[in-house]
Chains A and B, each alone.
Chain A
Amino acid sequence: MSYTLEGETGEWEVVIGLEVHAQIMSKAKLFSGAATEFGAAPNTQVSLVDAAMPGMLPVINKICIEQAVRTGLGLNAKINLHSVFERKNYFYADLPQGYQISQFQEPIVGEGVVTLDMPEGPRKIGLERLHMEQDAGKSLHDQDPKMTFIDLNRSGVALMEIVSKPDLRSPEEAGEYVRKLRAILRYLGTCDGNMEQGSLRCDANVSVRPFGETTLRTRTEIKNINSVRFVMAAIEHEARRQIDIYEDDGEITQETRLYDADKDETRSMRSKEEAHDYRYFPDPDLLPIILNQEFVDDIKATLPELPDTKKSRFISDFGLSVDDATTLIADVDVADFFESVAKFSEPKLAANWVVHELFAILNRDGLSILESPVSSENLGKLVGLIADNTISGRIAKDVFEVMVNGGGDPANIIEDKGLKQITDTDEIEKMIDELIEANPEQTQQYKDGNLKVAGWFVGQMMKASSGKANPQIVNMLLQKKLS
């Protein structure tokens, strides 16, 4: 059951490879001690090395090597113990050195695998390689009528370029690949995956072919896509564009294109049209990176639990549904939050509350889990109070709303508002007796066979008890008394 696009001449398949640029989480840049924080005032995070002043030299930030290895291990990839930095030479305003220090023939990480959970089943997507490279600065074209302004804050920031094999076959798969990759990087703590701020960017290589054809046709590259939604839209649009050209008997030129989200179209990047001869050669200011197996093993030993493993554990140990588990592991912060809640209570119930009640509030108010008005500890306590029957689920929702609006420990709220569940059967029985006595008509209706009226009694019981009567006990006793 593959994804195909309907053309005039038949069905077409789309072949996609993604190159993801992920900013390495580090305090300082790849080869200099300038800061990497987003949003700083222009050119305030630029060292002499980043500005490519005469005589400046690179010195590698060791954490970047560790993060790259950690990422490679998290992607089930081969770690190359010997790798080399090479210079990629080209001229552009945001590239002060006139070359980018990157890795070409010998990257630090080799082939790996990412598994996607698609509706049709798991899909293994191959990774070609991962290498480290410098980011470029930023050009601002809209500040002046005649000039482009250059900010080098980003110049020299450490990036991992993660290259997939052309194994993706649909925009959905591509979207899921980016989501999964992003989740893994966040779990590993090697990249924060913030696409709005540009710490994760995507280039998509897209080609099409008639369904059934096995050779690869010419591909185009769509650069710098900064959201999952745009990745999917750009690919879909580009695939269509190529199909239309082929069906018109045209040819696809290998070129670089940009996705315009406003117009939902891709267009050719004129400035990068000319053939680039990057003249790669090993950077003579640096030595090869030589790692020993022990170094790699030490990092492997400290890898956190990754999404796939966590999901299996949630399902097998916690008994969560596949859907709930999938939702909860999608982001590391959510998974951690959930586990913290589950620790204080009962996992399945905790899952329910996080996925439904909490997410509803977060979505409503546009908050991330880290901005949750209710702490995981307090939510955990609330769920625990339901699990041990201190309050009913219904009451819990009221308590939750109080917590959302002012925070606080649920135990205190329950105490203050006297919301403890009534579980005393004698007390409930007494209330039922009073109710039956006060409502002979409805009692008679039940005895006459209208079983639905029991619901009315339950409603009345809730009213009379201010919602605090334990519903299971009410139901059981009502049945007994009414029959």
Chain B
Amino acid sequence: MDRTTIIDIAKLARIKVSEDETENLANELTNIFDWIEQLNEVDTDNVNPMTSVIDMVMPSRVDEVNDGNDAERVLQNAPDRPNDGRNFYTVPKVIE
């Protein structure tokens, strides 16, 4: 786990990590992954990965409209909204 990997992961996770921090993080994560390595002691060739602790059929909902229709409810906590009061979220302009 080296600094380049840390920078790549931080990018994937969209978390800003400063130069100095990358060194520390690299060390910490290396330690943690060294510790996790012990899982390789276990032979899991014929084991199925767990899908769920729950043993039941997935519940489903009926196809009916019973939600939404309240823009204010979902917008009220937004840190930034259009100046003209229109019901949108805003983000820095994206060029596609």
Contacts and interface: CB of A to CB of B under 8 A. Distances in A.
A288 B88 contact: no
Interface in B42-58: 51-52, 54, 56-58
Interface string A250-267: 000000001000000000
A151 B74 CA distance: 11
Contacts of B14: 91
Interface stretch (B22-30, B31-39, B60-68): B60-68
B61 A59 contact: yes
A277 B12 CA distance: 8
B61 A61 contact: yes
Nearest to A149: B88
A399 B59 CA distance: 58
A46 B71 contact: yes
B90 to A, nearest CB: 4
Most buried by B among A63, A270, A284: A63
Contacts of A47: 67-68, 74
A61 B65 CA distance: 11
A282 interface: yes
Interface string A126-140: 000000000000011
A433 B59 CA distance: 84
Contact of A287 (B54, B73, B87, B92): B54
Contact of B68 (A34, A59, A149): A34
Contact of B95 (A149, A270, A287): A270
Given A65-B60, A91-B14, A150-B88, A44 B94 contact: no
Contacts of A146: 92-93
A140 B63 CA distance: 29
B65 A35 contact: yes
Interface string A34-53: 11000001111111111101
Nearest to A32: B67
Contacts, number: 142
Interface string A386-426: 00000000000000000000000000000000000000000
B18 interface: no
A34 B74 CA distance: 12
B74 A144 contact: no
Interface residues of B, number: 37
B51 to A, nearest CB: 6
A355 interface: no
Given A41-B87, A150-B90, A290 B62 contact: no
Given A42-B88, A93-B94, A286-B58, A62 B71 contact: no
A143 B74 CA distance: 20
B63 A147 contact: no
A198 to B, nearest CB: 16
Contacts of A49: 67
A299 to B, nearest CB: 15
Contacts of A42: 71, 86-88
For this complex, into which size category does the number of interface residues on chain A fall?
35 or more
Main secondary structure of the interface of B (DSSP, over half): loop
Given A62-B63, A93-B91, A152-B74, A144 B82 contact: yes
A60 B71 CA distance: 23
B71 A148 contact: no
Contact of B67 (A26, A33, A63, A287): A33
Contacts of B62: 61-62
A462 interface: no
Interface string A274-298: 0001010010101111100000000
B61 A60 contact: yes
Contact of B82 (A149, A270, A277): A149
A269 interface: yes
Nearest to A47: B67
Contact of B60 (A46, A60, A91, A284): A60
Given A34-B67, A43-B71, A139 B82 contact: no
A356 interface: no
B56 A144 contact: no
Most buried by A among B62, B64, B67: B67
Contacts of A145: 93
A152 B87 CA distance: 10
B74 A27 contact: no
B64 A33 contact: yes
A147 B58 contact: no
A258 B95 CA distance: 13
Contacts of A26: 63
Contacts of B40: none
12 contacts: A28-B61, A34-B65, A44-B71, A48-B67, A59-B60, A62-B62, A62-B63, A63-B63, A84-B51, A143-B88, A150-B90, A290-B57
Given A32-B68, A277-B12, 4 more contacts: A47-B67, A91-B14, A93-B94, A148-B92
**A-B pairs with the 10 shortest C-beta distances?**
A34-B68, A33-B67, A62-B60, A287-B58, A63-B63, A149-B88, A47-B67, A150-B89, A51-B74, A33-B66
